[in-house]
Every structure is written in structure tokens, then in C-alpha cells.
Structure 1
Amino acid sequence: MRFKDHVHVLTTMLIILIWCFSINWSKLQEAAKWLCNVNDDVNDFVTDCDNLGLFKPHFGCCPHKQCPMNYFPFHIHSGVADVVAAKICFNNTIIMGGIKNNAGQGLNIVLANGATGEVLRNKNFNLESRGPEELLVFLMTLKPGNIVLVASHIDPTPKLTDEIRDIFSALGSTLVKSLKPRDGWVFAGAYGINEASPFEKLIQNDVRSNAYEDWPEMGEIIGCFPRISETE
């Protein structure tokens, strides 16, 4: 069997496994409602924040965001043109961004343990200069309870195959299948959900409405992601 066939089989198995597990996704709906009742002022931090404890009410990092107990503050923004890097901040720490010099063109992805908040892996995938196989292998390491945070930069679509889009859809994305060249996309989901994530934004590339000529404006989501218990 060729490598491509192996990847296809493993991808199909992963999608099936994702749908076989479920978390209480109503918690995410509660988190989305919470966002409407707190201050949404944004301050862009250039340094990491102090870890104030995982499961105590506290103000989050980049920007200040007060989350209820057992929720993780997060902030994701897409890159802008070829000037501003994408950034992913989770649980009071900047994980990827210009200050870290680890965000790049394509898709920037962070995986975290949904129970403890521990960051498991983070990686940039330039789908213009590399094939989709590396991203597929990365996504196949997902386990039940993993939180997935994604920020695009420049163009996330080259070699973004239907298999990859299906995996993100299984993680809760409703917009990834509409993603087109030079669109901006930010997303937070989890392995094992069976409903749409409330944490997603797609900024369409349209020369008639782009903020920066050939480039759309920054896409940004700020929120509180619910802790996923070990039993879910």
C-alpha cells in the first residue's frame, strides 16, 4: 500500500474516532454567552504573563479577560498581510507569535490538554512550500480531550485537502470548508465534540472590501474555553 493510501486510511479512522467521543459542548455555549457579559477591551502584550493558577478566577493574558473557574482564557488572531504575525495565547501564556518567532505563513496550530491546560505541541505548517502529509500526521496525534487552537497567516489553503478540512470539521469547525485563498481564519475546538464550536471566525479575501488592498483585516477571537474533565 502506498504512503498516500496509508494516510487516507489513517485519516478516515481519525475522523471516525473523533465522532465516537463527545464532551459536554454546552459548556462552550455557556462560554460564548460569558463573552457577551465581560469587557472586550484588547491590549496587545509582548511578553508572557504570570501563571496565576489553572482553576481560579483570574484575568487572562493578551488581552485581559476574566474567565470563570475551570475555564482557560485564550486569544487568537490571524496574521495581517506579510507584516503582522499570527498569535495564539492560551492560559496566560503566549504560545505562538512574532515575539516567540515561531509563527509563520500557512496554519499555526497549538494542541493543549483540555483537563490541565498543559500545552502539548505547537507547530507552523506552510502548505505552500510543503505537502499536506506533515499536517495530517500532526492531527493524527490528537486524543480525546485535546483542545485545538488555529491561526492562519497569508494563505492557509494551498494543499489544504478535503481530508484535512474534514478533520477540522470533526473538531467543531463550520467554516473551514469555506476557506479560500488568502482568507483569514481563527478557530478553537476540541477532539470529541459533536456540535459546532462557538469560537471561530472567517475573514474573507475580497478586493472590494479588503482592509489592506490584497489582504483582509485581522481575524480575532478572545474567549474562555471550558476545562474538559478526564471523564468526558
Structure 2
Amino acid sequence: MGSSPGFFGAFKAGLLVFASLCAWYGGYLLAELIPDTSLSSAVYNIRSIGKKPVLKAPAPKRQKCDHWTACPPDTYAYRLLSGGGRNNFAKVCFEDELLIGQKTGGASRGINIAIVNYVTGKVIATQCFDMYEGDNSGPMTRFIQSAPPKSLLLMVTHDDGSTRLTEDAKKAIEALGSKEIRNMRFRSSWVFLAAKGFELPAGIQREKINHSNDKKNRYSGWPAEIQIEGCLPREPS
């Protein structure tokens, strides 16, 4: 006698149910044996395949007067920046203290000067002298001459520093070692680091000037800012 078709159908259905139960039970055992954290890690690793690692460099440490590298411990950090354009005022920074700048309220049109005690590194006085309007060359000359021995004089221009610059004022600045003061023209950018009563070390950049007034530059006819910066050896104790 042959087996009926109904028997084979019931047998196949039974096998299917049995296989499903085995698969469910195997999955249950696997889930119990493997911790959730391992599964999450595995999923994350699979998703991360092909992704490039992102490396974050630490933020650079800020140096005195915004230098790129730190000055040695036995030196002064300084930065002289002339004005650029109409609204970018001149700045003088010494040992990370802003002596002249728009934020300090101590920068204006003309020649801006800070006097610093070379021995202590402390500011003695700051003043701005308008060289476009008013008779300010005389007061500026007396201010320069009032600096005591062992002083640093840090000078920067904004806008115009030459129109009312007198011969006596030029001589006072020349006496400090300037080579460019007689080359100043209308709206020249100029910075000058001077020493009174002592000599600056060799290799120190002392002066810089820019006459450019190209109408195609970013300031539409105003000279761009120029700067000198460095590390000045302290007075030996």
C-alpha cells in the first residue's frame, strides 16, 4: 500500500515547525551567552568599516603678544603694528600687555609712542600725537626727550604721521637711531623700536616703513599695516 499525500504534507509541516523552533532556541541561547555590549561593539565596528579616522590636533598655546613661538625666559616679547586702512588702529604690545591700541583707548591718528623701562619692563608713559592737524611736533619732541636713560621707545603710525612733522622732531627721532624718519610721506606706515642710553643687541630689527598707497590694495589707497616683533634680551642683573 502507498503512503497518502496527506501524510507527506503533515510530515513536511512538522519538520518546518521543528526547524523553526530549533532556530529560535539557538538564537535565544546566543543572545544569553553574548553580552549586549559586545553586540553593540560589533555593530559599531561593522558600520565603521570604510570610515576614515578623524584626528583632532590640540589647539596651539597662545604666546605673549601673539607670537608664533614662545620667547626665552630671559627676554621681553614685543610687537609693533602700524595702522592699516581707516579703521585698523596701531598697536604696541610689550610682555603681553597692550600698551597702545583701540581697545585701550590709547591709539589715534599720527605717531603713537610708548616709553618702557628697559630694566623693569614696566611702561612709563604712552601718548599719541596727531601729525595732520594741530601743532603737536613740539609736544612730541619734548615727550621723546623726557624719556629717562635705559628706556625703550616704541613708535607706530596710524593714518598720517608726516604732514606736520617738524625738523626738530625729525632730529629727535634721528638721535634715537632712525634711518627712515626723513623718508616718511603722507600716510606712510612706519614702526620704530628705539633705545635711549644703551645699544640694542645686533640682529634686532629696529625699523620698517611702507609707502605703498596703491588704490587697488584692500584699503583703497591707504597703506597696509606693517609690523616688527621679536624677543629682546633683558637687562643683566
TM-score (ref. length: structure 2): 0.66
C-alpha distance in 2, partners of 1:227/1:69? 9
Residues 8-27 of structure 1 correspond to what in structure 2 (within 5 A)? none
C-alpha distance in 1, partners of 2:180/2:216? 19
TM-score (ref. length: structure 1): 0.68
How many pairs does the alignment contain?
A: 174
Question: Which has the bigger relative contact order, CA under 8 A and spacing at least 6?
Answer: 1
CA pair 128-229 structure 1, distance change in 2 beyond 3 A? farther
C-alpha distance in 2, partners of 1:63/1:198? 15
Contact 1:78 1:186 in 2 (8 A): yes
Residues 98-137 of structure 1 correspond to what in structure 2 (within 5 A)? 98-131=102-135, 132-137=137-142
How far has the Cα of 1:194 moved from its partner?
6.0
C-alpha distance in 1, partners of 2:182/2:197? 19
Q: Which runs of 5+ in 1 are unaligned?
A: 1-42, 44-48, 50-58
* CA displacement 1:79-125 (0-9 Å, x = unmatched): 11211111110011111111112200001110000011010000111
How far has the Cα of 1:61 moved from its partner?
2.4
Q: What is the aligned counterpart of 2:186 among 169, 181, 185?
A: 181
CA pair 170-103 structure 1, distance change in 2 beyond 3 A? same
**Structure 1 position 86 matched with structure 2 position 93:** no
C-alpha distance in 1, partners of 2:158/2:176? 20
* CA displacement 1:204-224 (0-9 Å, x = unmatched): 134377542221111111111
Q: What is the aligned counterpart of 1:220 among 211, 227, 230?
A: 227
RMSD: 2.4
* CA displacement 1:158-212 (0-9 Å, x = unmatched): 2212221222222122111211111000111111356896221101134377542
Contact 1:172 1:193 in 2 (8 A): no
CA pair 114-211 structure 1, distance change in 2 beyond 3 A? same
C-alpha distance in 2, partners of 1:105/1:206? 17
Residues 133-212 of structure 1 correspond to what in structure 2 (within 5 A)? 133-193=138-198, 198-207=205-214, 210-212=217-219
Q: Which runs of 5+ in 2 are unaligned?
A: 1-59
CA pair 179-120 structure 1, distance change in 2 beyond 3 A? same
Of structures 1 and 2, the larger Rg is shown by 2
How far has the Cα of 1:229 moved from its partner?
4.6
Tell me the amino acid that sits aligned with residue 138 of structure 1.
F
Tell me the amino acid that sits aligned with residue 61 of structure 1.
C
Give the stretch that moved more between structures: 162-171 or 109-118: 162-171
CA pair 229-125 structure 1, distance change in 2 beyond 3 A? farther
CA pair 179-228 structure 1, distance change in 2 beyond 3 A? farther
Give 3-state SS (helix, strand or coil) of 1:147's partner. Answer: strand
C-alpha distance in 1, partners of 2:225/2:70? 23
